[in-house]
Structure 1
């Protein structure tokens, strides 16, 4: 049996919930379909030591401030999961957990959303599936012949899994720096941190709130036709959260250049040097999880789906929310997703009213 709704939101993490908040305010009939069996989105899968970049009051979704976490300036991932679960309940958002969306198709004047539990027919769809379910692994020579353990950021949990091992952490972004710091500060792991270019740490007093302000200033400059300020990328790549700062200041985060290849038992650099390695943690980023949109044939020549804000140019009834700056400045963050969610829902309300 096919069910009907004005709007189907695909994904029940922070972006999907922000969309739900504004859909509720607009009085639209909607449903949020989430593959996760419980609330919290990807935050329930983060590594044990992960903390937000910002204090709780600067890490909130629209309508409800995140409460401070006792004893923590920067809340941990578990606190975020609790906040998202409470948010979902407080606003009585119709989230169907444990529902995987397989495909979105055009059917006449509607969009058909096919799931593993049934089908939905909608006037509009918001895709808010994020990137966590699609980790990226680079094609490094020797990766298939390395006999040690390989895992991505999504699989890392704690240094206890690597006691007395030699671990190479690959990646010069926040995840790479934080996981390298986590392992190095433990003292029971031999850590080598490698990056494509020398790591760029942001000033110690810059946190997520400041980064949001910088991203917002860039958006305004571009909208007003002024010069591109460069945004967050102009400041650096790594937020110096307390553990990263501690490891850096202790001399434990001296990055090496990227190795040229993996061998069966280690890594070899361009100068011929070789290091024995038991495990490699690939902190090499993610790609948008958009396979469910393949039937709409929206990708351009380079595989990118063109958008105007959140609205896809090839299908005006479809909005992409929370995938990064290309779908709204800072839209992949808790504090940043509110504005593009509001704008997307406003457009959808105008569309469905016609």
Structure 2
């Protein structure tokens, strides 16, 4: 056997909410870091996608951070930046687990290798009995196709590239997207008086509350898509937007005045379906993300509908693979629960 090939029982890919939760449950089941399981993470420091959020996303604006199993986050300063609070929490959690995460490690691909799955990475290859994939979506921003995108002379950026409102003072920003990130960007830009135009494909649905029943119904919508082998789709299309006091205040100020999707981009702005135009210097695409699963292509997991069929967390086409944070588990609370389920199924198959 090549010295670059390590044999391990379980490989966990990703050290965000789902990956760290999986490590916790594996550890508590008696698997030791190293030979029993290994966590591979592409970032150079703890924190997952939270490390890359913009400075204005403070904890009181975050759409929920669920406690990692066995160690609650506790009280935090609501005005503290999420990109500082959550990575510090994750770093402490990793220490409590005994430092099972290897980083920075880029996973190139996962492919069958007889009775095992071969995980090829920048740290060498791992032959695993099972793989728990928890790679999230942050590294896979979605850029929609619009006529004129190549002729617009201003700046175009995605939520994944947004670093705060300061550079846009004195400029007009078109924010595209109907989700939570779009609303957060609009709030952030409004803090500095940046002129904005909000564009969504459909009329936003604001909810006074997002109670347990509403959450369950939203999860069920996404679960049905996944159960039919379809892409999970946008979570906000199933949940709507919660009308918090800040969001209500933004609506009162006119910041959340929604415009329908424009027909095309022009060199100096956007053009609506009726031919009217809006001058713009920047287009900020808050158009969401897709599951970061390119490294799983050699496994040929896609169904005719374009999605991946899973039962619980187990992939139907490759039962040795579990997806955590995919479809109905694509939330902080959902990822932790899915990690528990994935580990239970992995251990049952030993």
TM-score for the superposition, normalised by structure 2: 0.88
> Which of these residues, 335, 338, 347, is aligned with residue 337 of structure 1?
335
2:285 corresponding residue in structure 1: 282
Cα distance in 2, alignment partners of residues 9 and 266 from structure 1? 45
Q: Is the 8 A contact 2:110 2:117 kept in 1?
A: yes
CA contact (8 A) 2:13 2:133 kept: yes
Which deviations, in whole Å up to 9, do the C-alpha atoms of 1:120-159 show, x marking residues without a partner? 1110001110111000011111011111100000111211
Post-superposition offset of 1:218: 6.9
Unaligned runs of 5+ in 2: 224-234
Is residue 59 of structure 1 aligned with residue 71 of structure 2?
A: no
- The answer for the alignment partner of 1:26 in structure 2 is 29
Task: Summarize deviations over 1:271-306 as a string: whole Å, max 9, x none.
Answer: 111111100000111111111111111111132111
- The equivalent position to 2:154 in structure 1, one of 135, 148, 160, is 148
Cα drift, residue 221 of structure 1: 11
- 5 Å-filtered alignment, 1:258-297, equals 258-297=261-300
Q: How far is 1:180 from its partner?
A: 1.3
What are the residue-to-residue correspondences of 1:307-326 with 2, within 5 Å?
307-325=310-328
**Aligned residue pairs: how many?**
332
Offset, 1:184: 2.1
Which residue of 2 is the match for residue 193 of structure 1? 198
Distance 2:239 2:61 in 1: 17
Which residue number corresponds to residue 81 of structure 1?
Answer: 87
Offset, 1:246: 2.6
Alignment of 1:214-225 (within 5 A): 214-216=214-216
Cα-to-partner distance string for 1:227-249 (whole Å, 9 max, x where unaligned): xxxxx868852233454333122
Which residue is 1:102 aligned to? 108
Alignment match of 1:133 (pick from 117, 130, 139): 139
- For 1:121 and 1:53, the matched residues in 2 are separated by 43
Q: Secondary structure at the match of 1:335?
A: helix
CA distance in 2, matches of 1:344, 1:54: 30
- In the superposition, the TM-score normalised over structure 1's length comes to 0.87
1:114 aligns with 2:120: yes
State the 1:338 CA deviation. 1.9
Give the match for residue 346 of structure 1: 344
Contact 1:56 1:68 in 2 (8 A): no
Pair 333,218 (structure 1): closer, same or farther in 2 beyond 3 Å: closer
CA gap of 1:79–1:7, structure 2 versus 1, over 3 A, is same
Structure 1 348/94 Cα, relative in aligned 2: closer, same or farther at 3 Å?
A: same
C-alpha distance in 2 between matches for 1:21 and 1:130: 18
Q: Does 2:218 correspond to 1:253?
A: no
Distance 1:349 1:244 in 2: 44
Contact 2:218 2:239 in 1 (8 A): no
Q: Distance in 2 between matches of 1:250 and 1:269?
A: 24
Aligned equivalents of 2:239 and 2:332: distance in 1?
A: 20
Query: Which ranges of structure 1 fall in alignment gaps of 5 or more residues?
Result: 224-231, 326-330
Verify the 8 A CA contact 2:8 2:128 in the aligned structure 1.
yes
Per the alignment, residue 227 of structure 2 pairs with: none
